[in-house]
Every structure is written in C-alpha cells, then in structure tokens.
C-alpha cells in the first residue's frame, strides 16, 4: 500500500496545519489505520519517510496511544467503559452479557473476525452509563435488549440506529424540576 | 418543564428547543457579537484586563485565574505564540466539555478567537480526545462554517486580525490532558509531561510562549465580553469563585447529567434538588466532588459549597467538576480500587514513584478486595501514598493517591473488615484438615 498516492489531498491538508512536520504524525497514523484497521510496519516506515523521522521515532509514538492498533482488531471493536462511574450503574453486568453473547472475554476477537471486546476506562459519558463505544460511535444507557439489538444490527447491516447523536440534551433535562 | 432556578449561561443556547448548534442558530442568539465588539477595536491587553477583572478561573482542574495566566506570556516577545484548547476530557466522572463541543461548537470557537486575539496567537489548536470522533466532526463542520463567514482565519471580518483554529485529535491517553503532556503529544511525541519550570507561558508548543485553557474556560469568554466583567464577577461566590460551573453528576442519583449552577450552591442542593436525589431507598454514603483525582467526601460534607475554597477547606477539591454519588451498600474499598486501576493503567511511566507505586498500590488493593489481604497492608498503602504524592513530575502523582488516602481516612473499618476475613480464612486453612470440626 502506498499512502502518499492514495491519500494525496488528505496528507497535504494534514501537513498544512502544522509548522513542524512531526506534529502530523498522529493524524497520519490515523490515516494508515483507516486503511487496514491497524497500522502496518510498512505504513510506519512510509510515514517516517514523509516526516523525515526514523522508523523507531514513529514506533515510539505509535506504541504510546491506546487508540493506535498495531495488531489486527475485529471489524467491530466493542469498548465497554469499566471505570467507577459506569461500574456504579452496572457496567460489569454489560461486560458479562457481552462475554456470553459473543463467547469471548476482554482482549479477545471472535473467530469470524467480526468483534473484538475490550474493557476500557472512562469515555466521558458517565451520566449516561453504562455505555460503550463501537468503532466511532457511542452507545449509552445500555440495557440487555439494547445490546441485543445493537449486535443484531451490526451483524446484519454493519451499523445501528441505536448509536448516540450529539450529547443527550435537553431531552433528558426536560424532566428536570 | 418547571422554570430553571438559575440563569444558564454556557448551556443556555442549547437548552432552547430546536437549537442545533449551527452557525445560523448561534448568530440568532447573539453569537459572534463579542468578536465584532472586540476585534480591531479593543486592544488585546484590555481584553486580558477584562478577563482578569471577571475573576474567571480555569475549569480544567487547577482553577488558575485565566487572565493572570495570559499575563505570564512575555510582553516584549515579538515571535509566534500559541493557544491550545484542552479538550482531552478524560478525568473519570467528567463529561461537560463533550456537551459544550457537540451541542454549541460556535460558542467555543468564538471563545478561542477572543483568547487568541488577547494573547496574540494566530495559530490555535483544539486538542480533542481521540475517542470523541463525533465531537471532532462537529467541530470541523463548525470551523468550516465559521471560516466561510469570516469569523475564523486570516483577516477576520476585515479587521486585519488573524486567528486560525485547527482540530487535533488525541489517540487515547489520559495523561495528555496534563498541559505539558498535551504539548508533547501535539508535537507528535509520546505524551510524557515535561519537567517544570520552564512553564508553557515561556516554553510551550514548539518551545514558543503558549497558553493552554480548558473548553469550559474558553466558552465563558464571549459572555464575559458581551455582558461585562462586573456582571460575571457578581455570579457565584465572589470574589474568588465567580461565574457558573457545569457539574457532571453521575452515580446513584435519579437524574445523572450536567447541571450548570452558580458556584457556591451546596452539594445538598446539587444532589437532591438539581439531580433529583438518590435513585432508590438507600441513603447517600459517599461522594467524589471533582473527578477521580479528588478525595472522597461523606454525607457530613453535604452543606459544603461548590466553590474552589470551600471544597478545599473540606479536604478535597473542586477539580474538573465531576460529582459522583454513591449510595449506602457501595464498598468504598472496591470503589477506590476501581479508580486505582484507572490510574495504574494511565500512569505514563516517566517517573518511578508513580510508575512503580501505582503498580504496588493496585496489587495491594486487589489483594485486599479479594480477601487475601494481610494486616500490614494498610500501612503499606499509607506508606506508598505518602511516597508518591508530591514526588512526581506531574500532578498525576497527587491525584492517584486521593481515592485510597481518603477512603482509608473515612472508611478504614471497611479495609480492616476485609483483612480480618482474609486472616480468619487463613487461620482455618492452617489447621490440619483432620483437626477441623
Ligand atoms: C493528570 C492530569 C490530567 C488533566 N486532564 C485535563 C483534562 O482532561 N482537561 C483539562 O482541561 N485539563 C486537564 N488537566 C489540567 C491541565 O493541566 C491544565 O491545567 C488545564 O488545561 C488548564 O486550563 P484552565 O486554566 O482553563 O483550567 C489535567 C491535569 C493533570 C495533572
Ligand atoms: S506522575 Fe505519573 S503520569 Fe505524571 S509524569 Fe510521573 S509517571 Fe507520568
Ligand atoms: S465512567 Fe464510564 S464513561 Fe465515564
């Protein structure tokens, strides 16, 4: 794969945003990840070349951040928040449902390569927990029925209408005293 | 809906039915008027003076006076300066910046342009937490609208003022909320906090003078300009805690969510009035007043006021505004372990007290919760905490010991009970099987 050819315009736009080239590193790694779902060694070497960095410099940054995958993940990466605020309202139960429904534990991928399950830390949606993120989307105030529907939707259509839109407000605040 | 008890400032627009956060909607509510009033008309130093007079303090955690921070930039320096908007929002229990960005992005953009003008920064970056994909899309869209309308970019509204804004996504690392780690990350490196001094005011992004401000801090600026610093300074608990704050209420309440109230209301009012009280029959046992880094408080502290000084006097901190409520029956040792696991996961590893200490703390806590603790574990915990706090490169070290230290202080008997259970079980195990009755 050749990022430079395929994403010429995107790369030019990214580079134009920063006076120092290295700042474009994380945005370019995202671009590479978009290509395969994870970042290949080849992509890291190519990016190093673009930014006049050494491959280890790219690797050093890439390994620091949890959202940059250096290994293949499932088509749908399910990340359930397990931090305290969600745990108070049942996130451990949600992880339990997911384990049963998918037959995998946190850190594992289903045999068909469809789902990867991860338990993660707070995603800034603690008022609407329990919650999870699947790929780019948030799913909040989870119930078992909702989880079933989401999984079924993803399996059949690749997306789900249960995902959250912009921050839930003021529909819920309408109930305020 | 019953009348809102307090006037909303930051959440006002989005509380109007049908408000979408588009440029047209924002303009209709008086949006970008502050920018028209100021740019090219009021000297930047005067804007800083206005912000100083308003008493605005940072909403990111530390509560540093915003105008004073801007005043630290070297005055005689003619080169490039930067402004970074800290939108990393990763402190467990905090979810207000996400709302501000997703529901009223132009309010933030106007605040950034005003701050950029005041400090002389022509390039500004919004460092948004990587997981907030939707938020970054909404901001990009709003930016495109604002650029087209001439509110952002080169020669804003023909005034000759340049302030451009770029959205930069993080990639999953809590520590990048710490301002110098944020700068490292923005430079394309690992997000390791820098040793201070020097401070970002003189050596920030690319070693240039830089201001880092939180989303909520910046979103206040258009209102301060439009309605005057005296108006702002009259809200809340003047003189030290002025304005409103958005408190993020989570946990065992009826209506978790964001509540914007003047600083100085009591926890009792926030929890029982605004958030509807406890979710069930069980009474309040404990609450965290300002995000995962803030020491736990007890029902005795319900009448403490939500302002910087009062919460500090009660032995905790207002921090990020994340207020987490726990009902009777919640194990405090378990709760402290949950937070400790977070800190253990997020320690960046740069300094040994935090890197090694967080690992020891989490192991000791896991052992106690699993009822395999030992009598000396409590001392080990206290010792570790004492040797981490105040001895690290960044304030993460002080934060990570807060849950354990405060639960040990208020609920020591819960730790003791778990250890007693472990000891009793061990005693049984040590008796030869044949001798057991
Ligand atoms: C470990 C750690 C994490 C932090 N995370 C955030 C954060 O997510 N968002 C934020 O605005 N400030 C965060 N801060 C505070 C910033 O370092 C900085 O003080 C703040 O962004 C300054 O903005 P303000 O003056 O407007 O509050 C964090 C600090 C520490 C020590
Ligand atoms: S205190 Fe922890 S997070 Fe901060 S620099 Fe040291 S190791 Fe990193
Ligand atoms: S604790 Fe789960 S989103 Fe914050």
Q: Closest residue of B to A83, CA-based? A: B338
Domain boundary among A64, A84, A114: A64
Tens digits of residue pLDDT in B421-434: 998 988 877 777 66
Q: Are residue A125 and residue A149 in the same domain, yes or no?
A: yes
Name the residue among B330, B234, B310, B215 with its Cα closest to residue B270.
B310
Contact B122, B164 (CB under 8 A): yes
Residues A9, A54 share a domain: yes
The minimum CA-CA distance between B123 and chain A, rounded to whole Å, is: 9
CA distances in angstroms from B18 to A128, A155, A169, B72, B161, listed in the order given: 22, 34, 11, 42, 33
Instruction: Give a yes or no: residue A164 inside a domain.
Output: no
Q: Is residue A46 part of a domain?
A: yes
Q: What is the CATH number of the domain that holds A145?
A: 3.40.30.10
C-alpha gyration radius of chain A: 19
Three-class secondary structure of residue B86 per DSSP: strand
- The CATH number for A12's domain is 1.10.10.1590
Residues A50 and A80 in one domain: no
Query: Where residue A173 falls among pLDDT bands split at 50, 70, 90?
Result: very low
Q: Is residue A36 domain-shared with residue A98, that is, in the same domain?
A: no
Chain B nearest C-alpha distance from A125 (Å): 6
Is there a single domain that holds both residue A47 and residue A94?
Answer: no
Residue A38 is assigned to a structural domain of this protein: yes
- Asked if B92 lies within 8 A of A126 by C-beta distance, the reply is yes
Q: Identify the three-state secondary structure at position A56.
A: helix
Q: What is the pLDDT of residue A65?
A: 98
The DSSP element (H or E) to which B261 belongs, if any, is strand B257-262
Number of domains in chain A: 2
Residue B289 forms contact with A (CB below 8 Å): no
Query: Is residue A37 in a domain?
Result: yes
The two tokens of residue B257 are: 């969510």
Q: Is residue A171 a part of any domain in this protein?
A: no
Judged against a pLDDT cut of 70, whether residue B140 lies above it is answered with yes
Give the ligand whose atoms come closest to the C-alpha of residue B87: 1
Kindly tell me if the per-residue pLDDT of A174 is higher than 60: no
Task: Give the model confidence (pLDDT) of A109-167 as tens digits.
Answer: 999 999 999 999 999 999 999 999 999 999 999 999 999 999 999 999 999 999 999 99
> By three-state DSSP, how is residue B253 classified?
strand
**CA gap B327, B330 in Å, rounded:** 6
Q: Name the average pLDDT for chain A.
A: 94
pLDDT of B299 strictly over 70: yes
Of B94, B185, B345, the CB nearest to A124: B94
pLDDT at B437: 58
Residue of chain B minimizing CA distance to A63: B190
Q: Which residues, other chains included, contact B191 with Cβ-Cβ below 8 Å and sequence gap of 6+?
A: A64, A65, B170, B173, B175, B176, B178, B181, B182, B184, B185, B348
Distance of CA B114 to the CA centre of its chain: 22
Is 0.90 exceeded by the ipTM? yes
What's the pLDDT at A169? 59
CA distance A70 to A39: 5
User: What order of strands is seen across the sheet that includes strand A76-81?
Assistant: A115-120, A76-81, A132-134, A137-139
Q: What average pLDDT does this structure show over B321-334?
A: 98
Contact A104 CB / ligand 3 (< 6 Å) = no
Q: Is the dihedral of CA B253, B257, B261, B264 positive or negative?
A: positive
What number of C-beta contacts closer than 8 Å exist between A and B?
Answer: 173
Non-local (6+) Cβ contacts of B240 within 8 A are B55, B57, B307, B308, B309
Residue nearest to atom 18 of ligand 1 (CA): B179
- The pLDDT value recorded for residue A113 is 96
Residue bearing tokens 């206040």: B220
Q: Is residue A173 part of a domain?
A: no
Which ligand 3 atom sits nearest the alpha carbon of residue B94?
4
Give me the domain span that covers residue A88: 76-157
Average pLDDT score over residue span B133-155: 98
Write out pLDDT tens, residues B227-253.
999 999 999 999 999 999 999 999 999
**Do both A96 and A35 map to the same domain?**
no
The owner of tokens 């570790």 is B384
pLDDT for B170 beyond 60: yes
| Ligand 3 midpoint to CA B276 (Å) | 20
pLDDT value of residue B199: 97
User: Residues B60-74: what's their mean pLDDT?
Assistant: 97
Segment 62-91 of chain A within 8 Å of chain B by CB: 64-68, 82-85, 87-89
- Region B180-204: what's the mean pLDDT? 98
Ligand nearest to the CA of B212: 1
CA B179 / ligand 1 centre spacing (Å)? 6
What is the pLDDT averaged over residues B14-20? 93
Task: Tell whether A45 and A82 lie within a shared domain.
Answer: no
Q: Are residues A45 and A92 in the same domain?
A: no
Residues A152 and A90 in one domain: yes
Residue A168 has pLDDT above 90, yes or no: no
Q: Are residues A19 and A81 in the same domain?
A: no
Q: Which residues of chain B make contact with A133, given a CB cutoff of 8 A? A: 131
Share of chain B above pLDDT 90, in %: 95
Measured in Å, residue B84 CA sits from the centre of ligand 2 at 21
Q: Using the predicted structure, report yes or no on whether residue A33 has a pLDDT greater than 70.
A: yes
Nearest neighbour of B251 by CB, restricted to A85, A164, A174: A85
Q: Is A26 on the interface with B (CB under 8 A)?
A: yes
Q: How far is the centre of ligand 2, averaged over its atoms, from the C-alpha of A171 (Å)?
A: 40
Q: What is the pLDDT of residue B173?
A: 96
Q: Say if CB B99 and CB B226 are below 8 A apart.
A: no
Which atom of ligand 2 has the smallest separation from the CA of B175? 3
Q: Are residues A80 and A149 in the same domain?
A: yes
Q: What is the mean pLDDT of residues B271-299?
A: 97
* Chain-chain contact of A166 with B134 (C-beta, under 8 angstroms): yes
Give domain status of residue A25, yes or no: yes
Pairing assessment for the beta strands B244-251 and B82-87 based on DSSP bridges: unpaired
CA–CA dist B91, A8 (Å, integer)? 37
Task: Calculate the average pLDDT of chain B.
Answer: 96
Do B129 and A124 lie within an 8 Å CB cutoff?
A: yes
For B:172-191, CB contacts with A below 8 A are 172-174, 185-191
pLDDT digit string (tens) for B94-118?
999 999 999 999 999 999 999 999 9
Structure tokens at B67: 């105008």
Do A152 and A80 reside in the same domain of the chain?
yes
A61 close contact with B: CB closer than 8 A: yes
Q: Which two tokens stand for residue A174?
A: 């309408």
Asked if A107 reaches chain B (Cβ–Cβ under 8 Å), the answer is no
For residues A15 and A34, what is the distance between their CA atoms, to the nearest angstrom? Answer: 18
Q: Is residue A104 part of a domain?
A: yes
How far is the first Cα of chain A from the last one, in angstroms, to the nearest whole number? 57
Q: Is B398 helix (H, G, I), strand (E, B) or coil?
A: helix
């Amino acid at each position: 794969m050749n990022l430079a050819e395929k994403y010429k315009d995107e790369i030019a736009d990214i580079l134009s945003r920063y006076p120092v080239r290295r700042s474009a590193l994380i945005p370019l790694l995202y671009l590479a990840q978009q290509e395969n779902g994870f970042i290949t060694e080849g992509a890291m070497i190519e990016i190093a070349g673009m930014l006049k960095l050494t491959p280890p410099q790219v690797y050093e940054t890439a390994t620091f951040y949890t959202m940059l995958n250096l290994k293949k993940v499932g088509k749908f990466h399910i990340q359930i928040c397990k931090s305290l605020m969600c745990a108070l309202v049942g996130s451990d139960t949600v992880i339990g449902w997911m384990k049963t429904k998918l037959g995998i534990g946190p850190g594992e991928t289903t045999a068909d390569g469809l789902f990867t399950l991860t338990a993660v830390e707070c995603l800034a949606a603690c008022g609407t927990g329990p919650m999870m993120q699947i790929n780019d989307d948030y799913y909040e105030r989870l119930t078992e029925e909702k989880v079933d529907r989401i999984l079924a939707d993803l399996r059949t259509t690749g997306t789900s209408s249960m995902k959250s839109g912009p921050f839930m407000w003021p529909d819920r605040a309408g109930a305020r005293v | 809906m019953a009348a809102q008890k307090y006037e909303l400032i930051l959440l006002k627009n989005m509380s109007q039915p049908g408000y979408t956060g588009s440029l047209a909607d924002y303009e209709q509510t008086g949006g970008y008027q502050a920018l028209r009033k100021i740019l090219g008309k009021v000297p930047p130093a005067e804007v800083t003076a206005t912000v100083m007079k308003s008493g605005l303090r940072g909403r990111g955690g530390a509560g540093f006076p915003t105008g004073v921070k801007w005043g630290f930039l070297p005055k005689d320096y003619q080169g490039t300066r930067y402004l970074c908007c800290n939108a990393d929002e990763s402190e467990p229990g905090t979810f207000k910046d996400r709302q501000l960005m997703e529901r009223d992005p132009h309010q933030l953009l106007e605040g950034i342009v005003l701050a950029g003008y005041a400090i002389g920064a022509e390039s500004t970056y919004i460092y948004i937490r990587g997981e907030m994909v939707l938020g970054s899309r909404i901001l990009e869209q709003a930016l495109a609208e604002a650029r087209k309308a001439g509110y952002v970019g080169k020669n804003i509204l023909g005034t000759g003022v340049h302030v451009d804004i770029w959205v930069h996504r993080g990639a999953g690392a809590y520590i990048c909320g710490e301002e110098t780690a944020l700068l490292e990350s923005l430079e394309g490196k690992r997000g390791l906090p820098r040793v201070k001094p020097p401070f970002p005011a003189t050596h920030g992004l690319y070693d240039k003078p830089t201001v880092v401000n939180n989303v909520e801090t910046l979103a206040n600026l258009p209102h301060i300009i439009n309605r005057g610093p005296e108006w702002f300074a009259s809200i809340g608990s003047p003189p030290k805690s002025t304005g409103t704050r958005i408190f993020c209420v989570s946990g065992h309440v009826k209506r978790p969510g964001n509540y914007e109230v003047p600083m100085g209301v009591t926890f009792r009012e926030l929890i029982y009035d605004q958030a509807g009280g406890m979710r069930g029959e069980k009474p309040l046992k404990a609450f965290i007043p300002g995000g995962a880094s803030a020491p736990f408080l007890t029902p005795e502290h319900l009448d403490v006021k939500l302002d910087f000084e009062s919460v500090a006097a009660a032995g905790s901190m207002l921090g990020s505004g994340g207020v987490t409520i726990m009902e009777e029956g919640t194990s405090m040792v378990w709760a402290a372990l949950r937070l400790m696991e977070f800190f253990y996961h997020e320690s960046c590893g740069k300094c040994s007290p935090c890197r090694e200490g967080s690992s020891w703390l989490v192991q000791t806590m896991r052992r106690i919760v699993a009822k395999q603790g030992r009598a000396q574990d409590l001392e080990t915990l206290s010792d570790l905490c004492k040797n981490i706090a105040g001895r690290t490169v960044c304030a993460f070290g002080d934060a990570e010991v807060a849950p354990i230290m405060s639960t040990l202080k208020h609920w020591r008997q819960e730790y003791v009970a778990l250890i007693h259970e472990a000891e009793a079980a061990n005693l049984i195990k040590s008796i030869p099987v044949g001798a057991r009755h």
